[in-house]
């Protein structure tokens, strides 16, 4: 199954004015990187979100959120928000902003940011 392009477009709308964003096809979906660090992504019709590890358990308690595990190895600090959890722009914005709050504090990763489609 290809990734949900309409969800990808909604993410692009949230990130339109943010600098240092790169889109990169990965894990059978599409990833959005901020300064070379994975920020959010689209896998099938779900949103993948990178969060502060201390927020992980709290996020899992929210509706339509589950562990990000597509390989049999759950990734702590990453959640998958099912399509019902990102039906409107406000919910996409909510999750993307949570990811930005964490990822923007990480050191820049030059190697990853050089590959993919740079938007800004």
Which pLDDT belongs to residue 117?
59
Give residue 16's domain range: 5-118
Q: What is the mean pLDDT of the chain?
A: 91
Strands (E), the chain: 21-26, 29-34, 37-43, 46-50, 65-67, 78-81, 117-118
The neighbour count for residue 91, using CB atoms within 10 Å, is 16
Give residue-wise pLDDT tens across range 35-48.
999 999 999 999 99
Alpha-carbon span 17 to 19, nearest angstrom: 6
Q: How many domains does the chain have?
A: 1
Instruction: Assess whether pLDDT exceeds 60 at residue 107.
Output: yes
CATH assignment of the domain containing 53 = 3.90.1150.30
- Stated pTM of the model: 0.88
Q: Which residues contact 106 (CB under 8 A, 6 or more apart)?
A: 35, 37
Give residue-wise pLDDT tens across range 35-91.
999 999 999 999 999 999 999 999 999 999 999 988 888 888 899 999 999 999 999
């Amino acid at each position: 199954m290809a990734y949900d392009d309409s969800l990808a477009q909604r993410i692009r709308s949230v990130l339109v004015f943010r600098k240092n964003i790169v889109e990169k096809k990965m894990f059978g979906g599409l990833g959005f990187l901020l300064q070379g660090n994975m920020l959010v992504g689209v896998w099938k019709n779900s949103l993948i979100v990178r969060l502060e590890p201390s927020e992980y358990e709290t996020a899992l308690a929210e509706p339509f959120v589950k562990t990000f595990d597509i390989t049999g190895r759950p990734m702590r600090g990453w959640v998958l928000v099912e399509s019902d959890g990102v039906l409107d722009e406000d919910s996409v914005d909510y999750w993307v902003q949570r990811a930005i709050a964490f990822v923007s504090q990480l050191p820049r990763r030059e190697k990853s940011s050089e590959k993919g489609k740079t938007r800004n």
